[in-house]
Amino acid sequence: MTTAGGPSGPSTLRERKHAATVAEIKEVALRQMAADSAAALSLRAVARDLGTSVQALYHYYPSRDALLTDLLADVHEDFVTALEKVAKRYADRSPRERLLEVNLAYRKWARQHRERFLLIYGDPIPGFTAARSGPIVAPAKRLGVLFGHLLFDDWPEPPPGAEAHYSPELAVTLAGSAAQLTPWLSPARYEYLMQAWSRLHGLVLLELHGHLPWLQPAAVAEEYVHNALNNLWDDLEARRGVI
């Protein structure tokens, strides 16, 4: 939620008190979701833990969905900002090293902030539909832009006819989605961007949900993840000059 004082933060005493209260509300909500689930979140429960009335909370959030939207935006912003910082830190490394480090940071953040990561990428929250525009969408787009640059910035222009194998329906879908997220990428490169992200994201989710119990101890899991990410890069390199 944007503070009333502008980019530098709240400036008046009233604005600072408002910002402090909003921060406390969100912290309590996140703590409740870590203990239970986002589906169980209610303004009444948050008010109870804060020691105030639900009517008082309505001055800050008119509904549970408004609070969830703010939480999702904050968590997504923190996540993407952390990855952008890693990409910047390794800007002078090879494209392979830079992508590897960002992918490792993706996994590390998800493991260190499991509940918050699953707030973004876990099961849909019953009764809640995120808006298709607004504070939740901006960091999601930044994530796609970040990986689009990491994967393809050093590639030559795409060869002609790279999308010839698509059905008309899929071609339109890929072109439209690419135009919204990564307009500098061809539909074929956008398709591989989504596939590459799915491989990384799927591995992280399997690990978070305990579906890879055989990856023990930690050193074995780390080696396995490194191998998976290096294989992803090798597959990407095999497509250079083709898409």
In the predicted model, is pLDDT for residue 124 greater than 80? Answer: no
Q: CA angle 28-29-34, nearest 5°?
A: 95
Instruction: State the pLDDT at residue 226.
Output: 96
The model carries a pTM of 0.87
Dump the DSSP string for 87-115: HHHTTTS-HHHHHHHHHHHHHHHHHHTHH
Percent of the chain with pLDDT over 90: 66
d(CA 118, CA 28): 17
Tell me: the pLDDT tens digits for 145-192?
999 999 999 999 888 877 778 999 999 999 999 999 999 999 999 999
Which residue ranges form the domains of the chain, and what is each CATH number? 1-62 (no CATH), 72-238 (1.10.357.10)
Instruction: State the pLDDT at residue 139.
Output: 92
Instruction: State the pLDDT at residue 10.
Output: 65
Structural tokens at position 57: 């909370």
Tell me: the pLDDT tens digits for 16-30?
888 999 999 999 998
| Dihedral angle sign, alpha carbons of residues 225, 227, 228, 233 | positive
Name which residue leads in pLDDT, 12 or 143: 143
Instruction: State the pLDDT at residue 198.
Output: 96
φ and ψ of 101, to 5 deg: -65, -40
